[in-house]
Amino acid sequence: MRSTWVLGLLLTLLVAVSLFALAYGEVWLNPLAAGEESWRYTVLWEIRLPRVLLAVLVGAVLGLSGAALQGLLRNPLADPGIVGVSACAALGAVVVLYSGLAAVAWFALPLGGMVGAGLSVLLVYLLSGNQSSLFSLILAGMAVNAFVGALISLVLNVAANPFAMSEIVYWLLGSFANRSLQDVYIAAPFMLAGSLAVLTSGRYLDALSLGEETATTLGFDPRRWRWIVVGGVAASVGAAVSVSGNIGFVGLVVPHLLRPLVGHEPRRLLWVSALGGAILLVLADMLVQSISGRVELKLGVITALIGGPFFLYIIMRTRSSEW
Partner 1 sequence: MRFLSGLMACCLLLGLTAGATAQQGIKPRRIASLNLCTDLLLLELVPRERIVSLTYWAADPDMSYLADQVGDIPLNRSLAEEIVPQQPDLVLAGQFSDVKVVELLRRMNHRVAVLDVPLTLSGMREYILSFGELVGEPARAAALAGQIDRRLALVSARARQAAGAAPLAAVYGPQGVSPGRDTLMDDLLTLADIRNLAAELDIVSYGTLSLEALVMAQPDVLILDDLSLDTNSIAHQAMRHPALLRQFEAGQVMNLPPSLMACVGPTSAEAAERLLALRLGLP
* Least CB distance to partner 1 at residue 101 (A): 9
Question: Hey, what amino acid is at 268?
Answer: R
Contacts of residue 73, Cβ cutoff 8 Å, sequence gap at least 6: 128, 130, 132, 137
- How far CA 98 is from CA of 114, 160, 170, 198, 235, in Å, comes to 16, 8, 14, 31, 21
Nearer to partner 1, 69 or 155 (CB): 155
Binding mask 280-309 for partner 1 (x = CB under 8 A): --------------xxx-------------
* Least CB distance to partner 1 at residue 56 (A): 19
Nearer to partner 1, 25 or 31 (CB): 25
Residue 43 touches partner 1, criterion: CB under 8 A? yes
Instruction: Render 158-226 in DSSP notation, one character per residue.
Output: H-SSTTTGGGHHHHHH---TT--HHHHHHHHHHHHHHHHHHHTTHHHHHHHTT-HHHHHHTT--HHHHH
**Which range in 15-23, 44-52, 120-128, 187-195 contacts partner 1 by CB under 8 A?**
44-52
**Which range in 3-11, 37-45, 133-141, 305-313 contacts partner 1 by CB under 8 A?**
37-45
Nearer to partner 1, 93 or 144 (CB): 93
Residue 102 touches partner 1, criterion: CB under 8 A? yes
Q: What would you measure as the largest C-alpha separation in the chain, in angstroms?
A: 62
CA terminus-to-terminus distance, the chain: 35
Nearer to partner 1, 99 or 318 (CB): 99
Contacts of residue 67, Cβ cutoff 8 Å, sequence gap at least 6: 251, 254, 255, 266, 269, 270, 273, 274
Helix or strand run (H / E) with residue 110: helix 108-128
94 and 171 Cβ atoms separated by less than 8 Å: yes
Site for partner 1 (CB under 8 A): which residue of 8, 100, 189, 309? 100
Spatial separation of the C-alpha atoms in residues 321 and 276, rounded to whole Å: 28
Nearer to partner 1, 162 or 219 (CB): 162
Scanning residues 141 to 200, which ones bind partner 1 (CB under 8 A)? 159-164, 166-167, 170, 177-178, 180-182
Binding footprint of partner 1, residue count (CB under 8 A): 32
Residue 97 touches partner 1, criterion: CB under 8 A? yes
Nearer to partner 1, 177 or 228 (CB): 177
* Least CB distance to partner 1 at residue 98 (A): 5
Spatial separation of the C-alpha atoms in residues 124 and 187, rounded to whole Å: 24
Q: Which residues bind partner 1 (CB under 8 A)?
A: 25-27, 39, 42-43, 46-48, 97-100, 102-103, 159-164, 166-167, 170, 177-178, 180-182, 294-296
